[in-house]
Amino acid sequence: MTSDNEIIRRSWDNPAVFAEMYDRHATSVYRYAARRAGVDTADDIMAETFLVAFERRNRFDSAFESALPWLLGIATVLIRKQRGSEARFLRAVVASGPPAMVVENHDDRLDADLSIRALAGAIRKLPARDRDALLLYAWGDLDYEGVALALNIPVGTVRSRLNRARRVLRLSAGIAPAKEVDRGRTSTAPIVR
């Protein structure tokens, strides 16, 4: 499969091929936006992200094969611009719990429900830059490198922002600190040829 960076490069001269970016990543962008700002806003964020991406395609760092971190970075800025909808969404979660949850056990579910409401409150109060890093990681399914690319910051900064945000979340949800374990997350980039 032609890599994203190649398609973006080709789209400089033949703009029509850029539609392929949409076909590859629109769903991921939507899901990330829906998690952060609710489904009502997600349609618009999804559409707008690709318009912005198309306009900025010659700024795409072609050293990266997957365009997803870059696209989620754009979506993050758009969500930030619509801060109102994210804040409203989080307030609603705090007030009445998450719209849907996947937890097998009923007792766990109640616990989780309470914790989620506490988490949503904590997320709302996080500094924007810590919130962006945390949610790109947890809901955008990016790895540290991807978050770094999306936010255009060094990986070390991602690490410290995530540590800080997670500490705040743990405290607010009353979770005892777990031992730091490398979960061996795999890259989302479809690389390796």
Partner 1 sequence: MDELQLLRSFGKNVADPSVDALSRGRRGLVEHIGLQPAIAKPNSKKRFAFFGGTTALAAGALVATLVFTDVLGLAGWRGGADAAAASALSDAAAAAIENSDPVVGPGQYLKIDTEAVFTGGVQTAEWEHFAYLGTQDSQMYIPADDADDWVLVTEPRAAIKVFGEGFEEEAQESARAGFEEEQISRAPYGSFDNSKPRDWRLDDLPRDPQQLLNYIYRVTAGHGVSADGQAFDFISTTLRTGVVPAELRAALYLAAAGIPGVEITDEAATLNGRTGVAFGREEKDGFLHEIIIDPETGLLIGERTVQLFDSKMDLVFAGEVVGWTAVTTTVVDAAPAGGSLCGNGGEPVNGFGSGQCSDPNRPRTD
Contact residues: partner 1, CB under 8 A: 2-3, 5-6, 9, 14-20, 22-23, 26-27, 30-31, 34-35, 39, 42-43, 46-47, 50-51, 54-55, 58-59, 61-65, 98-103, 108, 112, 115-116, 119, 134, 138-139, 145, 154, 166, 169-170, 173, 175, 178, 187, 189, 191-193
Please, what is the minimum distance in Å from the beta carbon of residue 164 to partner 1?
12
Nearer to partner 1, 51 or 128 (CB): 51
Closest to partner 1 by CB, 39 or 128 = 39
Query: By C-beta, is 16 or 96 nearer to partner 1?
Result: 16
Given a contact cutoff of 8 angstroms between Cβ atoms, the answer to whether 136 and 150 are in contact is: yes
- Alpha carbon of residue 12 to chain centroid: 27
Q: What's the rounded Cα separation, in Å, for the pair 139 and 32?
A: 6
Residue type, 159: R
CB 116, min distance to partner 1, A: 5
Query: Which of 32, 53, 34, 51 lies closest to 42, judged by CA?
Result: 34
In the bound complex, what is the minimum distance in angstroms from residue 2's beta carbon to partner 1? 6
Q: Least distance to partner 1 from the beta carbon of 128, Å?
A: 17
φ, ψ for residue 179, nearest 5 deg? -65, 140
DSSP 126: S
Q: How far is the CB of 80 from partner 1 (least distance, A)?
A: 18
Nearer to partner 1, 9 or 129 (CB): 9
Buried-state track 142-165, b at ≥16 Cβ within 10 A, e below 16: bbbebbbbbbeeeeeebeebbebb
> Token pair for residue 30?
């939507």
> Smaller CB distance to partner 1: residue 20 or 159?
20
